[in-house]
């Protein structure tokens, strides 16, 4: 693998986009999988990898698209089965984002939990009934993050393999 100056810059930019994408799984406002996918796209277009680079990009596209679908479908199906409505998750998301700015990083989790619990407390009318729904919503959020991170790691592994083999 020999890199000229422009290929080195493209490789570094692609690597930074992929790393930022992986960080985006836990940082609100960073689109995780689109950043990972975009890093591979930049590398395929400007990195001079040829047909092998485009094959890596095609595989990364399939992984990113599949990961996005699974990220929403699997946890959403689990929440529907347990009876947690979408409005509860929206309340958690809004308070999580507010919490992130009030108490950086930790506020995201605290705000999400408080928002879900508050919405379920209002909906169900009891602390005893609200907490199990909150736990289910937290499990779904964790599963969604795990799926997204795994897909991002797969995209990164594909890119790295393409970088080393093309």
- Reported confidence tier of residue 128, pLDDT bands at 50, 70, 90: confident
User: pTM higher than 0.75, yes or no?
Assistant: yes
Alpha-carbon distances of 96 from 8, 28, 33, 145, 147, rounded to whole Å: 38, 9, 20, 15, 20
Contact criterion met (CB below 8 Å) for 31 and 151: no
Please give the pLDDT value at position 109.
Answer: 82
pLDDT, tens only, 35-90:
999 999 999 999 877 899 999 999 999 999 999 999 988 888 888 888 888 888 88
């Amino acid at each position: 693998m020999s890199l000229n100056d422009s290929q080195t810059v493209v490789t570094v930019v692609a690597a930074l986009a992929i790393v930022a994408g992986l960080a985006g799984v836990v940082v609100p406002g960073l689109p995780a999988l689109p950043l990972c996918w975009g890093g591979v796209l930049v590398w395929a277009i400007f990195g001079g990898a040829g047909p092998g680079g485009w094959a890596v990009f095609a595989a990364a596209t399939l992984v990113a698209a599949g990961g996005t679908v699974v990220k929403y479908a699997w946890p959403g199906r689990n929440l529907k089965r347990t009876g947690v409505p979408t409005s509860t998750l929206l309340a958690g998301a809004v308070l999580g984002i507010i919490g992130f700015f009030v108490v950086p990083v930790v506020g995201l989790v605290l705000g999400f939990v408080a928002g879900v619990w508050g919405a379920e407390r209002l909906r169900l009318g009891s602390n005893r009934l609200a907490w199990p729904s909150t736990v289910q919503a937290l499990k779904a959020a964790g599963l969604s993050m795990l799926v997204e991170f795994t897909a991002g790691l797969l995209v990164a592994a594909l890119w790295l393999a393409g970088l080393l083999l093309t």
